[in-house]
Amino acid sequence: MTEKFDFNDILIKPATNSEISSRKNINPYHNGFLPLITAPMDTVVNLDNKDLFTSLKINLCLPRGEEFLCGFVSYSLDEILNMYLNDKLDPKGYYLIDIANGHMEILVTAVRNIKIKYPKLTLMVGNIANPNTYVLLSEAGADYVRVGIGNGGGCSTTVHTGIGFPMASLIKECYDLSCTLDKPAKIVADGGMQNYSDIIKALALGADYVMVGSLFNKAIESCGDNYLWGKIKVSQKIAEFAYKNKIPVYKKFRGMSTKEVQKKWGKQVLTTSEGVVRVRKVEYTLAQWVENFEAYLRSAMSYTDSPNLQKFIGGVETIQITNNAYNRFKK
């Protein structure tokens, strides 16, 4: 059995010689947007704050029930199949089949049938935690595949079931397999990003995009319920005023498989939760976080002689390190 690794186990190795003399010459965008996608979580993004995300060049993926003709919209597998059978899918739409277990044969079959009927429809599916499943979904016609199970701040699948795959190894193995495919799906690393470097390492290992939930939730503009001092619920307007005046503000954060969310979706029979509900302190504005992220990404690309994402993603060298090495720079 080959030992797998995660983000704390690796570093990105600088190029021997970088021809980049200024970070201003670097292009950290895919088609004008950063390689980031909002996690479809109802404590992160909704119709009220979606324009802020897009203005900051972040790709949208809206939670179930948030309908809008911009970015990806999320549906359960049953909902997508019903729309497919009743000819209600937009032939040029962007859809996420939001499913916890993306390894099911019924999903592979659904992707294949949908893409045959709607070849110009853009389809994101997942989540998966097996590199071979990434291949199956790519060959079925998926345009994007979300990889990662149990790593997210709102997900407790791995801790309860033992199912999972270390995210860094999962991204790397999916990327290596993607290089052997005629039409590989875009790799979307989803869950468990604890800081800027985790996201940048995910891209270096081969993720085309990184889906972010927890880190965006800690921005004052996220759509989680607001609490002063973690106790008194207030409106978004009051929360923003309080934060500006240095009064501690806290946000609700919850996984999308929690019983709270199941009730919101109108489920009559609630299943055992594989998610968590927390209240967490607001740490920044979304603009501040994005400004920092772009600066750090440009810096990493400069070190690795990568003028664009096409060269950086999967094209730079990473090295595995010991825990002692990690503790040397951990601050």
End-to-end CA distance of the chain: 33
CB-based contact 71:55 (threshold 8 Å): no
pLDDT in tens, the chain (331 residues): 688 999 999 999 999 999 999 999 999 999 999 999 999 999 999 999 999 999 999 999 999 877 777 789 999 999 999 999 999 999 999 999 999 899 999 999 999 999 999 999 999 998 999 999 999 999 999 999 999 997 766 677 777 788 888 999 999 999 999 999 999 999 999 988 999 999 999 999 999 999 999 999 999 999 999 999 878 999 999 999 999 999 999 999 987 555 565 565 566 555 665 667 889 999 999 999 999 999 999 999 999 999 999 999 999 999 999 999 999 988 7
CA distances from 61 to 65, 93, 144, 220 (A): 12, 12, 12, 19
Residue whose C-alpha is closest to residue 111's, from 149, 80, 79? 80
CB-based contact 298:26 (threshold 8 Å): yes
Rounded Cα–Cα distance for residues 300 and 204 (Å):
9
Sign of CA pseudo-dihedral 313, 315, 317, 320: positive
Residue with tokens 């302190």: 281
Q: What is the CA radius of gyration of the chain?
A: 20
Enumerate residues 6+ apart whose C-beta is below 8 A from 138: 145, 178, 181, 183, 184, 185
* Token digits of residue 85: 């059978």
Residue with tokens 């209240």: 279
Residue whose C-alpha is closest to residue 296's, from 36, 61, 50? 36
